[in-house]
A and B are shown apart, each in its own frame.
Chain A
Amino acid sequence: MISPAWGQQNLDAAFRSTGSAVVAAFESQRAVLQTSSAVLLDGREESGYGVIISSEGHILTKASEFLQLKKPTITVDRTKYPDVEMLAMDPEWDVVLLKIKASGLVPVVYAPTSAVPQGTWVVANGVTTRNARRVLTGIVSANIREIPVSGGPALGVVLKEGSKKLEIEDVAEKGGAQEAGIKKGDVILKVAGKAVKTISELSDALKDYKAGSKVEITLRREKKELALSVRLTAKSELFTEQANRNDQMSGDFSNRRSGFPRVLQHDILGTSKIVGGPLLDLDGRCLGMNIARANRAESFAIPVEDLKTLAERLMSQKPTEK
């Protein structure tokens, strides 16, 4: 490999840091992904991954990606599970708890802490073959931190222009307003008990809330007043963000890539489809769950401590009504 100093020299693809010869060194971590990560399929198309958290088939994955799937099925190891049930969801972390009819699965082993030094190897699912998982590798690449909502929280409504009141002209699909049952023609009167009359008063009243949190909105519908608890939605979830220069050079990235209470950042190079699966350390233990590809250089995972708490909370919740 060491050749005379000058002239052009190229490293064979196999020996690049994502090349087959290098990735082969991660066989023991790949074996963990084979049994403890789930592959989400939409029809025949691979559409993300999941973290297996119980032997009876409880799986965590990214909610906003899962909800996009038309005909979700799951593969674990080599077994296909056609029936996928949605048990509970956490909009703040963008995580959904799924259940497949299975037994004897191998849940992930949680790492004791996500506070590992920067430069620690991490391993995640890459695009798989029908029967075998493949790995993508990288390192922990920045400080653990909160990712504030990009563009701030929103109700998910369009207000009528030129109206002297806050009359709703349209309700965005997938937004908190729609979930809460807000309708066209409703007039917003109060946010958390405080009267709002103009758009700027409304946005002022909302600006200190986080996306994912709930706020009480008082409305007038026809002649009645009613108060609804509305989940605030990240603006980036409702509208396609305008791509900046860095986005343009990033290829694809996750639709939702902000508004997370805490993330572990790594440099694994994948597509926006690689989220939802576990992030492993060299011992094959779960350091977290991949939740967003922010851009070509930055990917986020929910740190293991938060993932454990989230898993316990979602497991103890009653199934969501649909």
Chain B
Amino acid sequence: MRARLKFLLFTLLAWPGLSAGERLPIDDKQAPETRKDLEAIQSALIAALPKVRAATVGIELEEGFGTGVIVSADGLILTAAHVSGGVKKKITVVLEDGTKLKAQTLGLNSETDAAMIRITEPGTWRFVEIDRNDSARLGDWVFALGHSGGFDKNRGLVTRLGRLVRLANSTFQSDCILIGGDSGGPLFDLQGRLVGINSRVGNEVQENMHVPMSEFVGKWDDLLKGEFIGEGPFTKKPVKGSGFLGLATDARPEGGLKVTKVGKKTPAETAGLKEGDVILKLNDTPLAKREDLQNLLKEMAEGDVITLDLLRGGKNETLTLNLGAR
């Protein structure tokens, strides 16, 4: 309990000056009755869209495409765990205008489908406000954004309007119709506050599930630290020893491992390792024997990020890459 209180204080300090979560009158009506009510929904949605679209990103995956949303000026992104797929992986995110940005996955909660990503390029990004006060209620008008079916620059992001139709533990259901590619995308209230992250659909078109913001807020620090939380079902924990680099080395008498062969289409080749390079350190651990490298890799898994200190043509270089799957 104490830890929880501490944490809440931290979040309040980190996000000063947010609105206290006033509600729109239309959200307190059971149903719109008049033309004026319909216009209230329409004008709020039209006003909110440009700002939130600028903060919504596409996420390029090895297979397929997902969506995410920037929630801080320095490029923190919220998405779904089944989109980020793992922790501390290098990935690419795409703004609506097609600008590609380098990013890295942070933590994820494999039980609720929540995940964080950070843009690793310097810059200031447009971002959206999070509904930290858990102010979303059943029946609220909401809208979902996503790169439905994948990125399409001419089409842009696809907007869907609906209501919150079911609130249950760790899941919001809306009647905003989602499809593949929308996963990880944002669900907003009519004021453009982020209330959920698109997660999955049921058999019926009305069954569209979102991860509520409370699931992110409650695990904020762990997600930020890059923790892999839970045992699924949304993401499988990588198995130790499943990481693959794809090269052969020989130990040098003076220390370091000389690369004697780089396998085709391996993570080593993709990262640009070449025959003749000397690997001095892996994640700051000096390498003297081939077993040193093997023992370090044994403790790692597919998708893990490693940093190699190299000697290439007499010069020192550093290379960062993701391990592949064995």
Contacts and interface: CB of A to CB of B under 8 A. Distances in A.
A24 B155 contact: no
Interface in B135-165: 137-139, 141, 143, 148-149, 154-165
B159 A15 contact: no
Contacts of A249: 179-180, 201
A22 to B, nearest CB: 5
A11 B39 contact: no
B138 A297 contact: no
Nearest to B44: A119
Contacts of A1: 28, 30, 137-139
A14 B179 CA distance: 24
A5 interface: yes
Contacts of B32: 22, 25
A245 B180 contact: yes
B14 interface: no
Interface stretch (A141-149, A170-178, A205-213): A141-149
Contact of B35 (A3, A8, A28, A142): A28
B5 interface: no
A85 to B, nearest CB: 37
Given A246-B149, A295-B179, A265 B155 contact: yes
A15 B31 contact: yes
Interface string B3-43: 00000000000000000000000001011111101110110
Interface in B205-264: 205-206
Interface residues of B, number: 50
A8 B177 CA distance: 21
A3 B143 CA distance: 22
A307 B94 CA distance: 34
B101 interface: no
A295 to B, nearest CB: 6
Contacts of A25: 31-35, 37-38
Interface stretch (B109-117, B167-175, B278-286, B315-323): B167-175
A117 B46 contact: yes
Interface of A: 1-3, 5-11, 14-19, 21-22, 24-26, 28, 117-121, 138-139, 141-143, 145-146, 245-246, 249-251, 265, 267, 269, 282, 295-298
16 contacts: A2-B137, A5-B134, A11-B139, A11-B165, A14-B31, A16-B165, A17-B162, A18-B206, A25-B33, A117-B46, A119-B49, A142-B159, A146-B154, A265-B158, A267-B176, A296-B179
